[in-house]
Amino acid sequence: MRIFFILPLRRLISKFFILMILVGTTALAREGDRDQPIQIDANTVVANHSSLVSDFDGQVVLVQGTLRILADHVRVSEDANGFKTLVATGEIVTFRQQTDDLKWMEGQAKKIEYHEASHQLELKENAWIRRDRDLVKGDDLIYSTITQLLEAKSAPQTPNDRVHLTLQPTPKPQVSAPLHPPPPASLQLEPSHE
């Protein structure tokens, strides 16, 4: 059984974060991040210039602006039109990024893919993303930065698994004491008869 839901991001943006990641191209990612260079550190790299594929292995750290991804392996490939695809894999692949509202979002999965041509981000296998205390979990999380839709799916081979979303309530505004105390009740003075 495949369970999914689609949520318009605009409705959730004030309440929930909905995605970010690789190359900082989502609506909520730090705006300046996409203009920053991508820096990748790894134990080894194999770059094939003829096929336009680079494989980074061993404690891979990808940083672009405030975006930070940790993975065992990252493959960066480029198609004939110059569009890049980034695939980060590992036992646990994690990311963390600051949003324009200065809040942090973070998540993890066994595999994270970003397809520049389709502006689509996928977190696969035991995926979750959190912003503040709001959380979405699923086996497959797919986000389109063009349509601004998130699709969360459970694993098709495990029909009892379900998608999970936790949204925390919006805090009620604090009622504070007035800045200026109200004037005292008016006193009626009677004229003196002297």
Q: Is residue 192 part of a domain?
A: no
- Residue 59 is part of which domain span? 4-166
| CATH number of the domain that residue 137 is part of | 2.60.450.10
Three-state DSSP at 12 gives helix
Band of the pLDDT at 11, cuts 50, 70, 90? Answer: very low
SS (H, E, C) 13-59: CCCCCCCCCHHHCCCCECHHHHHCCCEEECCEEEEECCCCEEEEEEE
Q: Is residue 181 part of a domain?
A: no
Average pLDDT of the segment spanning 23-41 = 65
The model's pLDDT over 42-88, given as tens digits with 9 standing for 90+, comes to 999 999 999 999 999 999 998 888 888 899 999 999 999 988 899 99
pLDDT at 41 over 80: yes
Number of domains in the chain: 1
Q: Is residue 190 part of a domain?
A: no
pLDDT at 179 over 50: yes
pLDDT of residue 191: 64
How many CB atoms within 10 Å of residue 180?
6
The model's pLDDT over 78-121, given as tens digits with 9 standing for 90+, comes to 999 988 899 999 999 998 888 777 888 788 999 999 888 887 87
Calculate what percentage of the chain has a pLDDT beyond 70: 66
Band of the pLDDT at 3, cuts 50, 70, 90? Answer: very low
Q: Is 80 left (phi over 0), alpha (psi -120 to 50) or beta?
A: alpha
Pairing of strands 134-144, 120-131: antiparallel
Which position has the token pair 């609506």? 27
Q: Is residue 173 part of a domain?
A: no
Cβ–Cβ < 8 Å for 106, 130:
yes
